Chains A and B, each alone.
Chain A
């Protein structure tokens, strides 16, 4: 939005993966402006699941932002991840309302079932376990998201059942 007027020389993506076209579209929409860095990283993560080293290098060149700054931004914001996610994703809400209503217990049970800690992926690569600051569904606390489906009034038993199912398959 600020100033970049003439079209710059196109930097080629690191691989011939078709998905880079989606990333290029985002950058083009913002005129390859350096201030579209966060927007671009969002698209990369949405498309590829995480931010690989080569993605960061490509974004750095294409937007003409120093790699150090790209890395700084990618690691500053919790939403971005530099590690590939597991097949399934479980996000446990640790907001105040959920905490008061026993989210800690739910999380501990899931950690045990998946054999991993919050913020990591189970050793067999099946389940990634994350925590959220607040999902905003406090009325139905405690909440968790299982592969995009928000589940309210969650009990440790229900959570255990769902994660165990994932671990088996």
Chain B
């Protein structure tokens, strides 16, 4: 199929090769949404140079200026010059760039990967970016593939190249690389990253994200009112230190910088308003026969009227506080895209948007300015617009996350007074997610016992359509965690209710503000914390065990990573001590280098746009780099392969030390020889279900069988579960002893996106029987595929042997066959299952409701499944845009058909 041609959605005439039970049918959506969604399905990930060029040009013009002013001027120039695009039928406008699925490079952050033409050298070498869907992974016609995933017009390449090269030696990455040469342990840091114990995710890969937005200031004041407020603040602090001899004077520059950035955003919005007005005028000038065709089929609305209304909405929100629900949604969307264009960003999430927009919704519904069907249509449009977002970052980063942008929308939870926060608009957000199933925004339900039953059932019904959302997060556990982590920064139990999920699964701290709308007061929650992207992500626990077992040597790289420990282990505890020592050293080194990278980045690429919306930047005059945000204990060491690691420790403890059936030498020999099986790379399959044994080898059969039979997590078996509980005690102690660049404790994050694939790809066989090169166990509380023999409730028991409020966001994926929860009774069963886990204190659970044969058929015939969604880890994604190892891993997950 030529790459320029639209990929098709499964045709009705198609007969699957594999028999499967389909997911439950969802209710249909309108023609306008179908048409816009169809445009997305046909669109390729596309890059252009407009934003990059105008940012760079203005930055260079202002050489020598105050950094924050220079940064704001560069952003303003970039926004002012973005070519506006609006497509017929759109009632919500603005996207990252001129293309429907457009994005652009940010070489001022990282430029080394931009000109690499091959995907081979990225991310441990391989298999990180899928070739399907909208990904442009090879050249065609007048289009080049750049950065592993994006199409670029050939005529745009000279400028792209010049822009990339112009940041040599001065990008955040380049400066970080210069400075890190002076930091002790540089050689070890390089080896740790080369071995993929951790990735070079840092201040020069994804700078902001996994946090939630705060809309209070723009919604309360409007952009023009906010500029006036900022001018007053700027004038008040001009030339005054006010007792702060270090940062006091910086407030003046910061306030001016925010004003400049807002002017750029306003110009960008107004350019779109002018285009909408122009298109409306053109439509009205068309001959009658054409004009009659230019209508939405089912509603009869004319394109002329849609453009006209859009123009008015955009013109209004460019300056004023929103008056209607539609204006409020459009202003949110504008600011969301604006914040997302500020940096390579992943997961600056909408947060509790249903509560933020509720004042406008309620007043519009009461006044009959809008009805619920119209609201749902707007929310469906928002889903499409957010799904068109791509993140332009290195293939390491994009591949690890499958390119997902993690616009997480949180529903449910409680209000400050402890009453349920669910409102009618949140029902409609879920309904829009059912009718228009797209990866963005993903939805999280903050589960609380107080939430209305019909709302929870609506969420379960949404799960059953196979969207993977909403994920379920335990509100009470989250609130407890927030007080533990952020209490010293002022977090109270009351305010912990304002939290939302940022990115895939980080619980982002929030605060409450009061909005005044037409004389009525509404308390709205909003994000108040720094990015959780900083820190170590992801930290490959099975790889650390491998290095311990092999005396610090990486057989995949054929390099000595750690100095050899040369210890002979006579007891499990001795092995564990060495493992902890290596982990401690690795975390210490990685933390120090990540601190350096983020520090370099915050000096020239501080947040101006996202920060002005976050408490307490406007109050204090300090941006994110100056600890202007309310909560700063957000940096995480995110673990990968937890259960592979725990199971492996259980096997070692039992077979080597407790029973003495095998020596450690026998075990490591078996691991090195992959138990006599072909590696994933050799067999071409990354699934644990497709083991291929070498013909000439039965040497390792006994040890392999014993490893597979040994106790495994997920069966309510205390032998394995005790090891998990022990790990959950000692690992956070090591992590929290590390200090971030903000002077706060590093914290543990227990969620992984797609790195369990890439890191598994460079890890030998593990003592739990996992074969070399195959993925680690997904998430952090999921059982290894096929090893959970006692049903989901046994997994719940195993997973809750420790206190989940102790660390950030444990994660559990469960795959259910559609027949297991069919009909209304099945919906209730699904909710009961969820509730059971939450009541045990589980922090998070999410579902893939799918017949694995459906996925097998889609893997074999992707051209028929452009719109098929699956839940991977903290994200829902199009099946065809997942790499084969991740597809294999999702297929191989245990599928529960009954016994729920």
> Do A and B form a real pair?
no
